[in-house]
Structure 1
C-alpha cells in the first residue's frame, strides 16, 4: 500500500531556477567532499539534488542513472555531467564533470608523489596495510548499496547472481555480460514489465520530497531534444578532440612513447569497458601491470587504497597509474621524475574522461526521449542488476590479493581479514562514514606494523 502523502510536501512548489553560479559552487563542493566511491557519490547526489534541493525528480534521476551505469566509464561522474547538462546545457555539463574530477586529480598527484618518494618508510607502509583491507569492505558495501536500490525482486537478483558467476567463475568478458543482461531485460520488458520497472513514481517522489525543478511532468528542455544531426556533430567533435590530443602527444614524445601509450590505453579502457569504476579496474590492472609494466600488482592495490582516501570518482585511480607510469618510465628523464608523473596523470585522466562527456552530450537527448518507455528502460534496469554481480566479483578479486589467498592456508593474512571483518561491521551495522573508517583502519595498520 502506498504511503499517505503529506499535504505540506505534496503542495510544496518547485524551487526557483538555479543559476550557473549556484551550480558552480555546488559541483565544486561535491568534488571536494564526494568520498565513498560511486555508490556513496550517487547517494550523496540523490540526497542533495532529489531530496534537499529538489533540482531533479527521483524518477528522472534513476532513469539517468540507469543509462550512466551501462556506459563505459565512471557512472557517478557521468550522472553529474548529465544533470549539469540537463540544467545548463553543454557548459553546465562541462562544469559539473570538471569540478567533480579536478580536486581528486590534484590530490592524487600529491599522494602519488608522496607514495613514490617516501613509500618505503615504515609509517607509510603501515598506513597502507590498514587501508587495503578496508577497501575490500568498501567495495562489498558499494555492491550492497547499489543492489538495495536496483535488485527489487527475484528476477533482478537472479541476473546479478548469473553475472557474478559469469565473470568470476567462467571469466566471460564484461561486454558479453552486458549484452546478455540487456537481452534479458528486453525480453522481461515485453513479458514481465512490472518486474523491470524499479523507478520511483511521481506520487512516491512527492510523498517524500515535493515537486522538483525538473519534475516528472516538466517538459524536456529545448537543448535536450534528440536529433541525428546533433548526435553526429557532438560525436565528431569528441573524435577530433581525442585524436588531436593524441597526435600532439605523439608529435612531442613519439608514437611509441609512454605518454602516447598511456593515451591510447586509457582511450580503450574508456571505450571498451562497462559498469563504471569497479568493473573497469580489472581491465586496467591487466593492461597496466601485465602488459605495459607501468607498475606492479602491489602498487596497483596501493593505488586503489589511495584512491579510496580521496574525493571524486574511484576511477581516478587511473591518475595514480598514469603518475607511476610516467615516473617509472622517466618520460622527462631521470632528473625530472615529478614532471613525468604529472604528465602521465593528466594524460590518463584526459583520455579516460573525454568519452564520458561525449556519451552524455550525444546520448542524453535520446535518454530523455525514452523516459516513459518500459521496453527501452527495462534493458537498462537488467544491466544495472548485472553490474551488482560484477562489483561483488571485484571484491573477491581484491580479497585474494590483500589476504594472499593464493598461498597455503597457514600463509593467509588473518590480521588483514580481521580488519576487513571489523570494517564490514562498521559499514553495515553502524553505517560508519568512509573517511572515518579509512582513518580507523590506517591507525590499526600502524599499530600492527609497530608491534610486528
Structure 2
C-alpha cells in the first residue's frame, strides 16, 4: 500500500489550514473529515487516540494533533510541515487585524464589528461545550468528572494542571479496578486498514530511527523556545517583552485541556494581573481568532501585541506591538512541537494500553467542565457591563450585576445562539451575520 508523498501531504495540510475556522472543535472536525473520511490516511481509533493524547498536553490540541499526524506519516519533516502550515495563516491574519484594531479600534465601524463578533463567539463556545460533551460524556462517571471539573475551576479556583492530573489518576485507577465506565478508552473502531495504521511499525514507535529523530527534534525545539526567554531575562529583565516571554512560557507548560481551557487563564492574568487589555478587548481578540483560519489560541498573539503596544514605551508603538505579538507566538508554539516530538514515540508504544487510554478519556471529560466555565465567563462579560466577586470560605465566584445588562448584546447573543442551534447555520455565516448586525447597531447609535 502506497503512502502519500510529503508534497501531497503538504497540499492537504494547506487545505486543512485554510478551512480551519471556528476554534478547535471545528478544526478537529475538518481534520477528521479530510484525513479520515476523505483521504482515509488513518482510522477513527488512531485519530481518537491521537486526539486524546493531544488533549492531555499543554497547549492547543488542534495544532498538536496536526503535528502528531504529520509525524506519523512522514516523521519529523512531516510534523514540521503540518504544524507550521496549520498556524501560518493565523499568524498573518491576526497580526494584520491587530494593526487595524490598534489604529482604528475606536472607529464606529470597527467597534460595531467587534461588538457583533462577541455575540457570535459566545454561541461558538457554547456549541463547543456541547460537541465535546457529546463525544466525551458517554456515561455517568464521565459526566461526574466533568461536573467536578467545572465546580473545581469555577467556584474553587483549582489550577488546570491539578484538574487534569486528578482526572487522569481517576481514569487510571478506575481502569485498574475494572470499573466498566473506564474500560475501552476512547476508541470507536477503525474505519478500516489505512495508510497510517499500516505504517505503525514503519513510522510509529517501533521505528527506532524515527523515534530517535523525534527526540533530537524535541531537544532542538526546547532550545529554540528557551533561547529568547533567557536572553530577555539577562539583557532586559524589567521589560514588557520579558514579561510576555515569561508569561506565555508559563502558559506553554502549565495550561492543559486545549485552547478553550488556556483562554480562561489568559483572560484572568492578562486582564486582571498585567493590565495589558480590558475584558472587552480580550473578547475582541477572540473574535479575531474565531474569524480567521488557524488555532484559536492565536489570540495570544493579539494579547502580546496589545501588551507591548501599550507598555513598551517605544517611539513606534506599532513596531513594539508587532515584536510583542511575534514573541508571544514563538514562545507559545515552539513548546508545542517539543511536546509532540518528545511524547509521540512513547504514546505510540502505549496506544493499546487500556489504562493509559482510560486516563486520557477521563481528561477529555474534565475538559468539558473547563470549557463550560469559559462559556459562562464569556456570557457574563458579553451581556453584562459589571460583575461582582462573591466569596464564602474557599468558594469564590463571579456574578453579574443584573442592573448592568446590555440589552443589545443580550439580544444579539440570543440571535447567534438561534442561528447556531436552531437554524444550523455555518460558522462563517453566523460570524458574518453577527458582525453585520453589530455594525448596523453601532452606526445607528443603538449601542
Normalising by structure 1, report the TM-score.
Answer: 0.90
1:374, 1:81 → 2: CA distance? Answer: 24
Q: Tell me if 1:192 matches 2:179.
A: yes
Matched with 1:382 is 362
**Range with greater deviation from structure 2 (172-181 or 265-274):** 172-181
Q: 1:250 to 1:359 in 2, by over 3 A?
A: same
2:201, 2:119 → 1: CA distance? Answer: 45
Matched with 1:264 is 246
Per-residue deviation, 1:87: 0.6
Matched with 1:439 is 432
Secondary structure in structure 1 of the residue aligned to 2:3:
coil
Q: Tell me if 1:220 matches 2:201.
A: yes
Per-residue deviation, 1:39: 0.4
Corresponding residue to 2:291 among 297, 309, 328: 309
Normalising by structure 2, report the TM-score.
Answer: 0.91
Is the CA contact (8 Å cut-off) linking 2:76 and 2:217 kept in structure 1? no
Q: Tell me if 1:165 matches 2:151.
A: yes
1:399, 1:226 → 2: CA distance? Answer: 48
Matched with 1:153 is 139
Q: Deviations over 1:180-205 (max 9, x none)?
A: 11121012212225544253444xx3
Per-residue deviation, 1:81: 0.3
Corresponding residue to 1:177 among 155, 163, 176: 163
1:392-431 equivalences under 5 Å are: 392-404=372-384, 406=387, 408-431=401-424
Matched with 1:94 is 80
1:354, 1:155 → 2: CA distance? Answer: 36
Is the CA contact (8 Å cut-off) linking 1:75 and 1:276 kept in structure 2? yes
Q: Tell me if 1:363 matches 2:343.
A: yes
Q: 1:345 to 1:291 in 2, by over 3 A?
A: same
Is the CA contact (8 Å cut-off) linking 2:298 and 2:329 kept in structure 1? yes
Paired residues, number: 429
1:55, 1:411 → 2: CA distance? Answer: 52
**Range with greater deviation from structure 2 (183-192 or 346-355):** 183-192
Corresponding residue to 1:132 among 109, 118, 121: 118
2:78, 2:199 → 1: CA distance? Answer: 19
Q: Tell me if 1:242 matches 2:228.
A: no
2:188, 2:233 → 1: CA distance? Answer: 51
Q: 1:97 to 1:397 in 2, by over 3 A?
A: same
Q: Deviations over 1:285-337 (max 9, x none)?
A: 23322232222222212111111111111000011011112211236x22x22
Cα-Cα RMSD? 2.1
1:247, 1:154 → 2: CA distance? Answer: 47
Per-residue deviation, 1:376: 1.3
2:376, 2:183 → 1: CA distance? Answer: 28
Per-residue deviation, 1:93: 0.5
Q: Deviations over 1:417-448 (max 9, x none)?
A: 22222222222233222111011111111222
Q: Deviations over 1:132-181 (max 9, x none)?
A: 11111110101111111111122111211111111112221111111211
Corresponding residue to 1:324 among 298, 306, 311: 306
1:395, 1:37 → 2: CA distance? Answer: 13
Is the CA contact (8 Å cut-off) linking 1:327 and 1:340 kept in structure 2? yes
**Range with greater deviation from structure 2 (420-429 or 133-142):** 420-429
Per-residue deviation, 1:284: 1.5
Is the CA contact (8 Å cut-off) linking 1:74 and 1:315 kept in structure 2? yes
1:266-305 equivalences under 5 Å are: 266-305=248-287
Corresponding residue to 1:25 among 8, 11, 20: 11
Is the CA contact (8 Å cut-off) linking 2:129 and 2:371 kept in structure 1? yes
Per-residue deviation, 1:345: 1.1
Is the CA contact (8 Å cut-off) linking 1:402 and 1:416 kept in structure 2? yes
Name structure 1 gaps, 5 residues minimum: 1-13
2:23, 2:227 → 1: CA distance? Answer: 31
Matched with 1:36 is 22
2:281, 2:143 → 1: CA distance? Answer: 34
Secondary structure in structure 1 of the residue aligned to 2:196:
coil
**Range with greater deviation from structure 2 (419-428 or 35-44):** 419-428
Is the CA contact (8 Å cut-off) linking 1:153 and 1:195 kept in structure 2? no
Secondary structure in structure 2 of the residue aligned to 1:221:
helix
